[in-house]
Amino acid sequence: MPILHVIILAIVQGLTEFLPISSTAHLHLTSWLLGWSEESLTYDIMLHLGTLIAVLLYFFRDWLQILGQAFGMQIGSDRELQQNRALLWLLAIGSIPVGIAGLLFEKKADAEWRTPWVMGTMLIVIGIVMWLAERAGRKQRDLSAINLADASVIGLSQALAVVPGCSRSGITISTGLFRNLTRESAARFSFLLSTPALAAAAAKAVYDLHKGHHLHELASAEVVVGVVVSGIVGCAVIAWFLHYLRRFSLMPFVYYRIALGVLVIALAAFRG
């Protein structure tokens, strides 16, 4: 893949993985509209590693505190995390559904579901769900109040992210709002919950590359550039988005999703 293509797609990945607008749809549509070939397994690894690095870097201190508290250690000073010492186990429980969904539906998600029709429809449907969540959620609870029911329901919703066009952050943040979390807390829990899924996806992709005797490709300039670019952009987007959610609603992203979904379906119909 030409280095310019790598940089463009890595920027798209970094921008869209953590915003509620579907990175899978944007990556596929970018390649589709520009006439580029489908991404390779090596490229999938590059993007997974980049976004995993982004979320680990940004939430490094949170993860240290979460891990320490789970085993009885006093690490970190975040008040919300201090008041929820079971958060590691809640995140583990919440990660189970997406792991099962990935095993069951990975081939469908990577093949027959990855079409403009599916992506366009999901962009619109989840956009409507986000709008409903904004209206219904009371936005009163933070991370300290997250319990087993919250983790289970949000975890179940994350399983829908295997469908292209859904958006992991879009569906999990919306579910958090339905559970009356504040916007920032819903997003923060969503990003923490995405970490095990991203790590598992990256590990599986590396394993598949190893089986094909292509592990040496991880050291290529394209992969290194892609990981660095998507990681830096992703980390910046997380910081900006959490700051944004302290003051503003998800409505601009709702409008964007619905408009993009309509455009994607229209283009698919026009191009046959």
Instruction: Read off the pLDDT of residues 8-18 as tens digits, 9 standing for 90 and up.
Output: 999 999 999 99
The 10s digit of each residue's pLDDT in 71-99 is 999 899 999 999 999 999 999 999 999 99
Q: How many CB atoms lie within 10 A of CB 103?
A: 10
Mean pLDDT on 183-203:
94
Residue with tokens 């339905």: 178
123 vs 103 pLDDT, higher one: 123
Phi, psi of 141, deg, nearest 5: -110, 150
Phi, psi of 255, deg, nearest 5: -60, -40
Q: Show the tokens assigned to 16.
A: 């869209």
pLDDT at position 110 is 82
| Beta bridge partners of residue 181, listed in sequence order | 141
0.85 surpassed by pTM: yes
Considering the chain, what percentage of its residues have pLDDT values greater than 70? 96
pLDDT at position 42 is 64
The 10s digit of each residue's pLDDT in 32-76 is 888 877 666 567 677 788 999 999 999 999 999 999 999 999 899
Q: What mean pLDDT is reported for the chain?
A: 92
pLDDT at position 150 is 98
Q: Three-state secondary structure along the chain?
A: CCHHHHHHHHHHHHHHCCCCCCHHHHHHHHHHHHCCCCCCHHHHHHHHHHHHHHHHHHCHHHHHHHHHHHCCCCCCCCHHHHCCCCHHHHHHHHHHHHHHHHHHHHHHHHCCCCCHHHHHHHHHHHHHHHHHHHHHCCCCECHHHCCHHHHHHHHHHHHHHHCCCCCHHHHHHHHHHHCCECHHHHHHHHHHHHHHHHHHHHHHHHHHHHHCCCHHHHHCHHHHHHHHHHHHHHHHHHHHHHHHHCCCCCHHHHHHHHHHHHHHHHHHHHHC
Mean pLDDT on 153-182:
97
Mean pLDDT on 162-182:
97
